[in-house]
Amino acid sequence: MILRSDYRASDFLLDRIELHVSVEALTTVEAWLHLRRRPGADPAASLVLDGRGIELLSIELDGTPIAPSGYRIEPEQLVVPAVPDAFVLRTLTRNDPEKNTVLEGWYRSGPMLCTQCEAQGFSRITYALDRPDVLSRFRVRLEAETARYPVLLANGNCVESGDAGPGRHYAVWEDPHPKPCYLFAMVAGDLACVEGRHRTPSGRDVALRFYVDRGNENRVAHAMESLRKAMQWDESVYGLEYDLDIYMVVAARDFNMGAMENKGLNLFNARFVLASPQTATDVDYDGVESVIAHEYFHNWTGNRVTCRDWFQLSLKEGLTVYRDQCFSADLGSRDVTRIEHVRTLRALQFPEDAGPTAHPVRPDAYAEVNNLYTATVYEKGAEILRMLASVIGEETFVAGIGHYLKQHDGTAATVEDLLASLEAVSGQKLDGFRRWYSQSGTPSVEITDEYDAAEGRYTLRLRQHTAPTHDQAQKTVLPIPLRFSLRDDDGQLLQLSPQPPLMPRADLILLEAAEAELRFDNIESRPTPAFLHGFSAPVKLQYAYTPDALSALVLNEEDGFLRWEASQRLMFDALFETMNGEPGEHSRMLLHTLQVLAANPPADKALLAELLRLPAESELAAQIEPLDPHAVTRARDGLRHAIAQALTGPLSVWAAWMPTDLSPENRARRSLSNLALWYLGHLNSARIRKLALERAHSPNMSLAIGGLAALRDSDSAEREEAMDAFHLRFRDEPLVLDKWFAMEAASARPAGLERVTALLTHPDFKPNPNRTRAVLGTFMRENLRSFHAPDGGGYRLLATELAKIDAGNPQLAARLVEGLLGWRRLVPALGEHMRAALEQLAQAGPSRDVAEKIGKALESRPTA
């Protein structure tokens, strides 16, 4: 177990790394490490380098070979006991990228060889100090066959290239900026290049180069435009320009993550680069824009200033997620963007905070570093920064980030460094927010109110509480910024005056104690409160809204997020009502509200779609304990049917829309139209099935997927025709075929378990991360009926497949095993089946990645 409290700076600094990489049947790496002892380090300390899965062929110190007795190879390390204070260590190693299935280090992806070095993949390429607080300048000579690998890339600028003997060539790349080795990248492949340009405000021209499989050149335009927009946004909002002559992006077929921000040479999962209206949905377009921006923003928040150790991961990831969220909000519908981000937070991070793998945004310990890449570190980390921006003000926050980058440029920093800069610029003490980084769990805020008509006084009472989590029995209070408003009987906003420190602004409560009370005088009638505007804090809010009050918020509130929140609350209440008996007051109010909304829709059709959209089954399941998944699916199906019947008229009008262009207005219309067709699909009429079939054949991928979604759970000839035609049409399009596999895996039709088993042996199934996630990830998240089969067959299937995946790709297996960790939340019969499947996997000799999560799930106890 690695502990944050054990952090110690490296005994050695690695100023420069020179690599000669020769790609043949195997890859040989000749490395010159320019090392010196850190001032103040132990003068007798041995040199300990990291290395995994590589073969050492020779080793020299300052040009003199080291005898075998002068070093030792240990598991994952090379130790050289006696070294001077400054020296050059040369190593010659060999590795086999063709057999590298973990997709870390140097590996094959389709027609190319590429790298993935975060968090500790560089040590699978050569021996080095593989830690983020050791920054080095790199010079790389990459040599390979000219015909097979005409493109040779690495970080920085290409300073030399030429022939390297018969049929071979080389390229030399030099990066002037010091960086930790997790940001190293190189690529050798037969790739097409799409080039663009960007001019910075200071007048520098930057070449923008996207490298993709040949034939995909016409699917890069959106990614290129997204990159330009991200560069312009960072220049205008944060005053940050790009600092190299070339910015390169390479799209890889096989990639464990979404993308990687290697300095000047980003490696991307191809699904976050390639997009055309014929092959990518509107959601895919948004994903490309967001991920392109995220990795670009890392150039400053992650690369120029990196993290001291992996416990500080949220320092770069939380900050960069917050920045890319702000970018997306500025470019699109601010309300809808925020809704999407909160939905992700609640679907992924809230359950993590409540489950066996709960951990703080800055953890205190880990067994496997790859398990630190979580929704808590990323999404909750971003929410902490959003709260800070809310408290000190957006402009001050941006200035604080500028101060932080200037103070720590070219270094490895900590969370304390960031908070110190925000304090220095704002003049405010932000000590309380440090606790957000150290405490796990999702706080609950309970609010009650009272109105004294005789005195004209309205009182709010607030109480915060964070339940114990498996890793922390004791919790402390946190600073919680609650944006709020009060409206009178006519729906008009009441003009309030600040009451510092509890209410520092007229629209903001800063709850810093376990309990607090606010009084408002001269209030003529009982007001209607609204809390958490824009979801100003990652908390669970408890306030006893009546169905009438929720309906009023849906129909009249100006804040789009609050409208959606009220709509979701009405839907949740109606579903719980149905699960506990018959539809009642909440169900009737929901249907009435949606009918009024449909008759008087907001101008933003994308927002309208969100207000009408039912929570996903997985979102509902996260709210219930003990969970009976089958009761959830029955209740949701019933409510979907009731809404379809109550809104048949407007839904039919919207479902007929089939716009195909990419304008924001028509993207919003497609979202609403697809949702309308999905609702109507539950009525199972021949007319709707025909419309869905027609849509499934659309040349626009968003519409085609909408048609398939409406037919997905149907036992009909139209469904079979649509699915078969889609498969035939896109059989040679890997990213689109992933959608077909996912659609089949999610289908609620009978024999779902058999269908998923068949998908895993389908001739077109490829065991790469994207296809595996499309089948198994979709199955466990979106197919509650089959995954939670009463006999536990779904759990056993997942455990069996995970054992196979884990043998080759532990990182992927560790992501998917999360589907088996929540066994204590299930009704007892299902919980025992899931626990048995987890123990089955535990006995299969899992990797460290998977074993850490299994151990926590089997050892954890229910929280109070």
Angle at CA 224, nearest 5°, toward 218 and 225?
110
Say how many domains are in the chain: 1
For helices 701-711 and 686-696, angle between their N-to-C axes, nearest 10 degrees? 150
Active-site residue, from 18, 295, 565, 744: 295
Confidence of residue 811 (pLDDT cuts 50, 70, 90): very high
Q: What is the mean pLDDT of residues 301-305?
A: 98
Instruction: Determine, yes or no, domain membership for 280.
Output: no
Q: Would residue 295 show up in a list of annotated catalytic residues for this protein?
A: yes
Per-residue model confidence as pLDDT tens digits over 141-190:
999 999 999 999 999 999 999 999 999 999 999 999 999 999 999 999 99
Share of the chain above pLDDT 70, in %: 99
Per-residue model confidence as pLDDT tens digits over 599-646:
999 999 999 999 999 999 999 999 999 999 999 999 999 999 999 999
What residue type is assigned to position 559 of the chain?
D
> What range defines the domain where residue 164 resides?
1-190
Instruction: Determine, yes or no, domain membership for 808.
Output: no
Share of the chain above pLDDT 90, in %: 98
The CATH number assigned to the domain holding 97 equals: 2.60.40.1730
Neighbouring C-alpha atoms within 13 Å toward the C-beta of 153: 29
Per-residue model confidence as pLDDT tens digits over 102-124:
999 999 999 999 999 999 999 99
Check: CB of residue 210 under 8 Å from CB of residue 194.
Answer: yes
Q: What is the pLDDT of residue 861?
A: 63
Is the pLDDT confidence value at 863 over 60?
no
Q: What is the pLDDT of residue 17?
A: 99
Instruction: Determine, yes or no, domain membership for 662.
Output: no
CA separation, residue 807 to residues 730, 811, 814 (Å): 31, 10, 11
Q: What is the pLDDT of residue 860?
A: 64
Per-residue model confidence as pLDDT tens digits over 279-288:
999 999 999 9
Q: What is the mean pLDDT of residues 838-843?
A: 97
Lowest mean pLDDT among 31-40, 59-68, 483-492: 483-492
Check: CB of residue 336 under 8 Å from CB of residue 603.
Answer: no
Instruction: Determine, yes or no, domain membership for 83.
Output: yes
In terms of pTM, does the model score above 0.85?
Answer: yes
Is the pLDDT confidence value at 654 over 70?
yes
Confidence of residue 864 (pLDDT cuts 50, 70, 90): very low
Q: What is the mean pLDDT of residues 7-36?
A: 98
Q: What is the mean pLDDT of residues 13-20?
A: 99
Which among 52, 55, 82 has a CA at the least distance from the CA of 67? 82
Q: What is the pLDDT of residue 583?
A: 84
Q: What is the mean pLDDT of residues 263-275?
A: 99
Per-residue model confidence as pLDDT tens digits over 400-417:
999 999 999 999 999 999
Is the pLDDT confidence value at 580 over 70?
yes
Average pLDDT for the chain: 98
Instruction: Determine, yes or no, domain membership for 60.
Output: yes
Spatial neighbors of 52 by CB under 8 A, at least 6 apart, are: 76, 105, 120, 123, 124
Instruction: Determine, yes or no, domain membership for 116.
Output: yes
Q: Residue 434 phi/psi, 5° resolution?
A: -60, -30
Instruction: Determine, yes or no, domain membership for 88.
Output: yes
Element holding 252 (H helix, E strand): strand 246-252
Is the pLDDT confidence value at 594 over 90?
yes
Q: Residue 655 phi/psi, 5° resolution?
A: -65, -25
Task: Write the DSSP assignment of 160-204 as a string of letters.
Answer: EEEE-STTEEEEEEEEEEEE-GGG--EEEE--EEEEEEEE-TTS-
Is the pLDDT confidence value at 862 over 90?
no
